[in-house]
Amino acid sequence: MPKASILIVDDDTDVLTAAQLYLKQFYAVQTEENPRRIPELVETGGYDVILLDMNFRRDVSSGREGFEWLQRILQIDPLAVVILITAYGDVDMAVQAIKAGATDFVLKPWQNEKLHATVSAALQLRMSRRETQSLKHRQQELLKIIAPPIPDFIGTSSAMQKVFVTIEKVAETDASVLITGENGTGKELVARALHQKSKRRGNPFITVDLGAIPSTLFEDELFGHVKGAFTDAREDRTGRFEVADGGTLFLDEIGNLSPALQTKLLTAIQKREVQRIGSNKSVSFDVRLICATNRPVHDLIDIGQFRQDLLYRINTIEIHLPPLRDRKEDLGPLVTYFLKQSAAKHQKAIPQVSGETLEALGRHTWPGNVRELQHAVERAVILSDHTDLQVGDFGLQGGRNAESLSVEDYNLEEIEKILVQKVLEKHQGNISHAAKELGLTRASLYRRIEKYDL
C-alpha cells in the first residue's frame, strides 16, 4: 500500500524540517515555504492531509492569510482535510478556523506523538469522506440504471396543461406536494416527474403504499427498528424515511391512514427525525415529501377522519389530476401512444383505430382512467387479428358496462358492481392487487364481493 501523502505549508524552515523529519517515517511528506504555490499543489498533488500555518510573513499575527488560504484550498477540493499550525496565543482564532472548515489544529511547539495522532485522525476523516463520495457516485449511477424511465405525459387538454405548468413551477423547490385524483389517473407518474426535475434527482425516490401497510407494521416500515426490538428483529432495519434521506419520499394513499397513524406521521414530519423501534436515539432525515390520495381529504377533515394540521404539512402545493372522462380530447393521443407502446412490447405491427371506434371509446366512462385504457389497448393489440381495431377488440362490451347503460339506468351500486367485477377479472381474482387498484382495503373488497355475489 502506498503511503498517505502529506503537504506541509509554512514559511518557517525550522518548522518544515522538524515536521518532515518526524512524519516521513509514516507518510510521504512534501513541504512548501511559499503559500502562493498552494493552488497549484492542491490541484495536482492529490494530498490526503494538508498542514497549514495560520500566519505568514505578510501578516504575522492576525491569521488572516491562513483563513484566506484555507478557503482557497476548500474551493479547489471540498473534501480536503486541513490541519492548522498555530501558536498558543492563537487558539481562539484556530477554533474560528475550524468553524470555517478546518479539521483540527496543532500548537507550536508540538509533541511528536500528539502531531502523529492528529494527522492519523485527519487521515481517517479523509478516507471516510472519499468513501462517502464514492458511494454517492455509485448510488447515482445505479439509480440511472435501475430507476424506471418516466413514461411520456400525454395530454393536450387544458386541465392537463395546467398540471404540466404546475409541475415545472414546483419541481425545483422543496415544497411538499399533495397529488389528488382517482385511481389510474397517474399520481405516481406526477410524483416521479417532480423528483426527476428537482435538485434531488440524483438521490433516492422511495415509494410507500400506505394503503397496503397493516397498521401494526406502519412504524417498522417507515421508521425502522433496531436488533432485538421484538422477537423477529434479528438485525437493524432502516426505515423508509432514512432510506430516502437526501431524496424524495412518496407516500401513496395517505388518505387511508387511521387518525392514530396520522399523528405519528405528523410528529415525524414536524421534527424531521424518527426513532427506530427499540431505540431511544433520534435519527434526523432530509426528504422532499410528496403524498397522494384518491380520497376527498378535505371532506374527511369535516367528519374527523383526517387531521387538518397534517394536511397543512403535506399540501403546500396541491395538484389535482382529472379523470379521463373529463378530458376526452386526450383519448386519441393516449390510444395512439399505447398502441405504439404495446405493439413494440409484443413485437406486432401497429394497428389502426378508426374515427368511429374512437368515438365509441369516448362514450365509455373509463372508471379505471388511463390505467384502464392502457390495459384495454394492450389487450386489443394482443388478441386482435385485424389491422383496424374495432371497439369490441378493447373488451368493453361484455356485460353491462358504463358504455351500455342509458341515462335512466345509471345506478351507483350497479356501476360499482361492474367495476369490482371488471378489476377482479383483470387481476385474475387476486384480491390484494384488485383492492389496491380500487383504493380499498382487502376487507372492504371482500364485503363488496359478498354483497354483489361475485
Whether 211 is covered by a domain: the verdict is: yes
**Cell 410528529 identifies what position?**
267
Examine the fold and report which residue of 298, 320, 342 is the final residue of a domain before the chain moves on: 320
Whether 140 is covered by a domain: the verdict is: no
Whether 142 is covered by a domain: the verdict is: no
**Shared domain check, 278 and 218:** yes
**Shared domain check, 307 and 331:** no
**Shared domain check, 171 and 31:** no
Tell me the per-residue pLDDT of 106-129, one tens digit each, with 9 for 90 and over. 888 888 999 999 999 999 998 888
Gap between the Cα atoms of 4 and 393, Å rounded: 70
| Count of structural domains within the chain | 3
**Shared domain check, 288 and 228:** yes
Whether 302 is covered by a domain: the verdict is: yes
Tell me the C-alpha to C-alpha distance, in Å, between residue 339 and each of 112, 238, 353, 377, 387: 75, 41, 9, 6, 12
Whether 62 is covered by a domain: the verdict is: yes
pLDDT at 391: 87
Angle of helix 442-451 versus helix 431-438 axis, rounded to 10: 100
Domain residue limits at 174: 158-320
Gap between the Cα atoms of 198 and 316, Å rounded: 16
Other Cβ atoms within 10 Å of 216 Cβ, number: 7
Total-model pTM: 0.60
Element (H, E) at 233: none
Q: Give the CATH number of the domain where residue 266 resides.
A: 3.40.50.300
pLDDT bracket for residue 193 (50, 70, 90): very high
**Shared domain check, 72 and 165:** no
Examine the fold and report which residue of 264, 294, 320 is the final residue of a domain before the chain moves on: 320
pLDDT at 407: 42
Tell me the per-residue pLDDT of 215-273, one tens digit each, with 9 for 90 and over. 889 999 999 998 888 888 888 888 999 989 999 999 999 999 999 999 999 999 999 99
**Shared domain check, 162 and 41:** no
Examine the fold and report which residue of 278, 293, 320 is the final residue of a domain before the chain moves on: 320
**Shared domain check, 402 and 359:** yes
Whether 57 is covered by a domain: the verdict is: yes
Q: Evaluate if residue 282 carries a pLDDT over 70.
A: yes
Gap between the Cα atoms of 326 and 332, Å rounded: 14
pLDDT bracket for residue 58 (50, 70, 90): low
Q: Which three cell numbers stand for residue 393?
A: 377488440
Q: Give the CATH number of the domain where residue 353 resides.
A: 1.10.8.60
pLDDT bracket for residue 147 (50, 70, 90): low
**Shared domain check, 179 and 265:** yes
Whether 121 is covered by a domain: the verdict is: yes
Residue count of the chain? 454
Greatest mean pLDDT among 331-340, 412-421, 445-454 lies in 331-340
In 3D, which of 246, 410, 249 has the Cα closest to residue 314?
249
Write b or e for each residue in 129-151: b if 16 or more Cβ atoms lie within 10 A of its Cβ, otherwise e. Answer: eeeeeeeeeeeeeeeeeeeeeee
**Peptide bond between residue 323 and the one before it cis (omega within 30 degrees of 0):** no
Question: What does DSSP assign to residue 366?
Answer: -
pLDDT bracket for residue 144 (50, 70, 90): low
Whether 379 is covered by a domain: the verdict is: yes
**Shared domain check, 90 and 120:** yes
**Shared domain check, 351 and 305:** no
Q: Give the CATH number of the domain where residue 92 resides.
A: 3.40.50.2300
**Shared domain check, 280 and 240:** yes
Report the share of the chain in percent with pLDDT over 90: 50
**Shared domain check, 346 and 302:** no
